[in-house]
């Protein structure tokens, strides 16, 4: 009995010592990352961590708030103070003709090279010094909609990107807009900002608040105001900028979400300081002047792909001809699906993250069942 007790005590002493060593090692590694090897590395590390769910807690254990804010101010996007002019986008895509002309007019390769299976979707592998990912081009913007969950609840859960695509009978998609996630567990049941889906304003406002009288969560009592927003009009033009729900409805928004910031508006790229942000998984949406929609998704927080900055997103979008582009939810939400396959994996080690909204590509009319 005494021998067994000694073994148990010895095991727990060993376990405690191991935890202490690991903890001290992690603390020293954190300090090394922040205080060395260079100022640039420190700024990239701090900015990247501050954009994650739990990173701010860790960084604030080491750095004072004023120093954190100084670092962030050196690496941020300057908001564009304008809204998309729809007249700058000329929808050239037609279902049964002129697709080849559309490609030629945008100085791209032949359709056989870019879309060999004829599904109206191009896929491009994207890479840079710190990242890799995929860029999807959807020729027909009328196929792109905002899919969403049936009801919103701060205590309830959303759906994974794969499930949202399946619910709408889609063939492809990327994650969508901002949502409440204080715990960082990705419940995904309550969006923030505005949500339009298939011509209906589904949500406007900030996170629900706790009603002390009833002990239940209630909707934002004052949802009016301006939100960072991107959405497609009934004419299939992607509109980007800060706006309220009244303005969005007046211009005929059919599908849209809130996150931000805007990356490009009317061909003008946003200014930024430093790299405009840290290295993280990213998702963005854009549109070319011919109407083709661009989905961009970057993997991050992996040894094979640390992530991209906002400056990287702007550069890629400009390279592929975007005249309007918008940053979507990133981090552990970032993912892209095509034909039931996740072609860009998210950074969530537990499972695919639940969310309330997603950008979904519907089948071509010829692909739909009668």
Between residues 195 and 35, which one has the greater pLDDT? 195
What pLDDT is recorded for position 92? Answer: 75
* pLDDT of 9 higher than 80: no
Read off the pLDDT of residues 109-129 as tens digits, 9 standing for 90 and up.
Answer: 555 566 777 889 999 999 999
Tell me what the pLDDT averaged over the chain comes to: 84
Task: Report pLDDT for 103.
Answer: 47
Provide the pLDDT for residue 97: 42
pLDDT score at 60: 87
pLDDT in tens, 262-293: 999 999 999 999 889 999 999 999 999 999 99
- For the cut 70, the answer to whether the pLDDT of residue 51 exceeds it is yes
The pLDDT value recorded for residue 366 is: 64
Residues 215-231 pLDDT 10s: 666 666 555 678 999 99
Q: With a cut of 50, say whether residue 95 has pLDDT above it.
A: no
Q: What per-residue confidence (pLDDT) applies to 38?
A: 75
Average pLDDT over residues 338-358: 84
Name the one residue in this structure whose structure tokens are 């501050």: 50
pLDDT band at 325 (very low <50, low <70, confident <90, very high): very high
Confidence of residue 59 (pLDDT cuts 50, 70, 90): confident
Q: Does the structure show a pLDDT above 50 at 370? A: no
Least confident span in 30-34, 308-312, 340-344, 347-351? 30-34
pLDDT band for 187, please (50, 70, 90 cuts): confident
Instruction: Provide the pLDDT for residue 166.
Output: 97
pLDDT at 104: 47
Residue 102 has pLDDT above 80, yes or no: no
| Model confidence pLDDT, tens digit, residues 144-156 | 999 999 999 877 7
Residue range 170-180, pLDDT digits in tens = 999 999 999 98
> Mind listing the pLDDT tens digit for each residue in 18-27?
666 655 555 4
């Amino acid at each position: 009995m005494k021998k067994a007790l000694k073994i148990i005590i010895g095991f727990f002493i060993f376990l405690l010592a191991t935890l202490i060593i690991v903890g001290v090692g992690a603390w020293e590694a954190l300090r090394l990352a922040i205080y060395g090897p260079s100022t640039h590395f420190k700024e990239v590390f701090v900015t990247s961590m501050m954009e994650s769910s739990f990173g701010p807690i860790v960084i604030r254990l080491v750095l004072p708030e004023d120093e954190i804010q100084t670092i962030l101010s050196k690496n941020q996007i300057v908001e564009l103070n304008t809204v998309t002019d729809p007249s700058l986008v000329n929808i050239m895509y037609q279902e049964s003709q002129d697709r080849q002309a559309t490609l030629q007019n945008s100085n791209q390769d032949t359709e056989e090279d870019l879309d060999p299976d004829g599904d109206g979707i191009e896929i491009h592998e994207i890479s840079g010094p710190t990242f890799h990912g995929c860029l999807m081009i959807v020729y027909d913007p009328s196929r792109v909609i905002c899919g969403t969950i049936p009801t919103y609840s701060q205590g309830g859960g959303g759906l994974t990107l794969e499930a949202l695509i399946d619910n709408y009978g889609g063939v492809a998609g990327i994650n969508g807009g901002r949502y409440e996630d204080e715990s960082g567990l990705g419940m995904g049941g309550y969006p923030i900002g505005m949500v339009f889906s298939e011509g209906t304003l589904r949500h406007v406002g900030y996170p629900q608040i706790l009603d002390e009288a009833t002990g239940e969560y209630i909707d934002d009592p004052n949802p009016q105001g301006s939100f960072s927003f991107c959405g497609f009009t009934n004419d299939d033009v992607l509109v980007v900028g800060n706006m309220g729900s009244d303005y969005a409805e007046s211009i005929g928004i059919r599908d849209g979400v809130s996150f931000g910031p805007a990356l490009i508006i009317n061909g003008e790229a946003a200014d930024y300081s430093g790299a405009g942000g840290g290295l993280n998984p990213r998702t963005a949406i854009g549109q070319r002047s011919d109407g083709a929609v661009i989905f961009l998704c970057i993997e991050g927080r992996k040894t094979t792909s640390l992530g991209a900055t906002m400056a990287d997103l702007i550069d890629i979008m400009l390279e592929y001809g975007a005249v309007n582009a918008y940053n979507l939810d990133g981090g552990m939400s970032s993912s892209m699906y095509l034909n039931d396959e996740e072609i860009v994996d998210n950074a969530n080690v537990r499972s695919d993250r639940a969310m309330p909204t997603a950008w979904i590509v519907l089948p071509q009319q010829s692909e739909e069942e009668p």
